[in-house]
Amino acid sequence: MTEPMPPHLKKMRLRYAGVCTACGVAVSAGVEAIYNREARSVACLKCSVLEPVEEPTPVVAELAVDEVWSGVAGASAQREGDRRHDKREARIREAHPKLGGLILALSDDPQSTKAWSSGAIGEATLGRRLDKAVRDDVRVLHDRRIPGSRANIDHIVVCASGVFVIDAKRYVDKRPSLSVEGGFFRPRVEKLMVGSRDQTKLVVGVQGQVQRVLAVLAASGLELVPVRGMLCFVDGEWPLFGGDFEIDGVNVLWPGKAIQHLVKSGVLGAGQVEEVHRLLASVFVPA
């Protein structure tokens, strides 16, 4: 007889459709799979490395709403910032046993390390604002890992008007703006400027995340659910009136303006919002 599964794993018939985190194949509702309670993820029986205990086929399980863990905003960015800080400190103390402490006291982490901690602050700040907007038809996920990648999605919000993939950015006292070049006789080119720097690459990053979410929904027969991307600048400099804009299908705005979009009425009812929220939580697990 095979050994029992760990307590956080369970063989069950899925109440909601999911996607196997190992092979990426869609697992339909009602099909047996291995559910991971801790990671809130699903693995198909073919990919499961564990041999389940032989037992009667369980009835269809319905998970409570509170079992979907929203995650901790900024957690992975803060861990990376701490890792880089600790690695630098250890390297300096090893190279300078006597003067290491003094060197560390008189110097600071490089900008590449501080950027991770600053980003974590931005994600956490936006996360708190999003959490306050949660209701039956507004559900959030924070700091979710993209399957098969080291990258993550800062925030995913499922609401009546669809799914919003939100990338939080923290540029203190820098104004985001839209720069348009060309037109009439030349191709129109739009650029995202933050202060005086071209940061259009941020838009491309969000577009890639949106495509990942679209693929998961399509694999589960939910390709009609609208998905949009947002770049949300925390602590940026914005004018008193207006200021937000759209570039290549991505909204560029601040937390308060983002929430205005999230609480609008739309095509999804509360039950559909819950279904999509559970699906995305099972595929994009906490980072």
pLDDT of residue 172: 86
Contact 75, 121 (CB under 8 A): no
Pick from 29-38, 53-62, 95-104, 272-281: least confident? 53-62
Amino acid letter for position 89: E
Whole-number pLDDT of residue 1: 42
Sequence-ordered list of residues with C-beta below 8 angstroms from that of 49, at least 6 positions apart, any chain? none
Please report where in the chains the tokens 């103390």 appear, as a residue. 93
Place of tokens 């006291």: 105
pLDDT (average), residues 228-244: 89
Output the pLDDT for position 17. 60
Taking only the tens place, the pLDDT of each residue in 54-77 is: 333 333 334 444 468 899 999 888
Spatial distance between the Cα atoms of 70 and 144, rounded to a whole number of angstroms: 9
C-alpha 71/C-alpha 78 separation (Å) is 14
- Per the rule left: phi > 0, alpha: psi between -120 and 50, beta: everything else, 134 is beta
Q: How far apart are alpha carbons 205 and 185 in whole angstroms?
A: 29
Do 53 and 6 contact (CB within 8 A), yes or no? no
CA dihedral sign, ordered 281, 58, 33, 272: negative
Q: Tell me the mean pLDDT in the region 235-242.
A: 83
Of the candidates 23, 15, 11, the one whose C-alpha atom is nearest the C-alpha of residue 219 is 23
91 against 56, higher pLDDT: 91
Residue 22: which of 42, 39, 8, 2 has the closest Cα?
42
Contact 31, 2 (CB under 8 A): no
Predicted pLDDT at 285: 93
Look at residue 39 in the predicted model and tell me its pLDDT. Answer: 64
Least confident of 105-109, 157-161, 185-189: 185-189
Residue ranges covered by each domain of the chain: 9-63, 115-283
Range in 178-182, 214-218, 278-282 the model is least confident about: 178-182
